[in-house]
Amino acid sequence: MASSRRAGDRKDGRLVRSLPAFSKFIPFIMPERNDALIHYEESFEISTVEKFLRRLRVEGYKGIGLLHFFIAAYIRGVALLPGLNRFIAGRRIYAHNNIEVVMTVKRSLSIDATETTIKIPFQPTDTIFDVYHKMNEKIEEIKADNGNNNTEDVAEVLCKAPRFLLRFAIWILKVLDYFGWLPTSLTDASPFHGSMIITDMGSLGIGPVFHHIYNFGTLPVFLAFGAKRTTYEFNRHGEAEKRKYIDFKAVLDERIVDGHYYAQFLKAYKYLFAHPEVVENPPSKVNEDIM
């Protein structure tokens, strides 16, 4: 996705130069992400997706589930609507160089097991099978290593400093991030830098939450989905039918694209729940973001 770097670009993204003046002006009116949050909720009927995932598990994709599908659907959305992969930094609008998905995982299922964050890079051509293999590889790497990952190593070093030095260090990091001068090693380790962060609340047996987006870093989207729930609905013949739903909530940075653009993405997301087989194959075309 990345092109040759030009003046004004960052290491993690290129400056979007051809936006209308008003779009460039908005980050000065709403400089923080928490100024610009859109909250959206939806319920997806998942009978078709569940049949699809069961078939894939029978075919040998052990453990493939809704989290893989949510991520694959998001990647397909970015392939069609690349503006979703923008971010705001230094009050300018950039396009990410690739699609980086952040999530939290436990090292084991025991109640006292530690949590860590992982960040997985994807390409817009990735299918659900690519998502499955890349996620499993990263999760197995974390579970097999009892030590800290890069994110935890950075946090551990910073937290050894006295509080006043830690506050100063964080201020320095924010200034460097504002100008795009953070070392690549730090942005690679940071759970606050990426395209999207997702959480599976269903694994905890509860519904989704509206989770804030962090002011620090580059994440413009936070997705959450909850536990499956069953309802009975009347069909057109007046007969009660059993249906399964997943509740979904999204917190979005309204400065990267307008409401119409987000609406197209969310409609495409809903379409994929009715036609999950689409994510088995790469998209026929990948749209590039505007220059």
What does pTM read for this prediction?
0.90
| Nearest one of 53, 116, 58, 84 to 246, comparing CA atoms | 53
Tell me what pLDDT residue 112 has.
Answer: 62
Q: Look at residues 53, 41, 42, 44 and name the one whose alpha carbon lies nearest to residue 276.
A: 53
pLDDT, tens digit, 9 for 90 and up, residues 245-260: 999 999 999 999 999 9
Going 166 to 170 to 175 to 179, the CA torsion angle's sign is positive
Give the model's pLDDT for residue 173. Answer: 93
Over residues 149-158, the pLDDT tens digits come to 666 677 777 7
User: In the prediction, which pLDDT does 133 show?
Assistant: 97
Q: Where are the domains of the chain?
A: 48-235+242-280
pLDDT at 113: 61
**pLDDT under 70 in the chain at which residues?**
1-3, 106-114, 145-152
List pLDDT tens digits, range 30-86.
999 999 999 999 999 999 999 999 999 999 999 999 999 999 999 999 999 999 999
Maximum distance among all Cα pairs of the chain, rounded to whole angstroms: 69
CATH number of 48-235+242-280: 3.30.559.10
Q: How far apart are CA 6 and CA 288, in angstroms?
A: 17
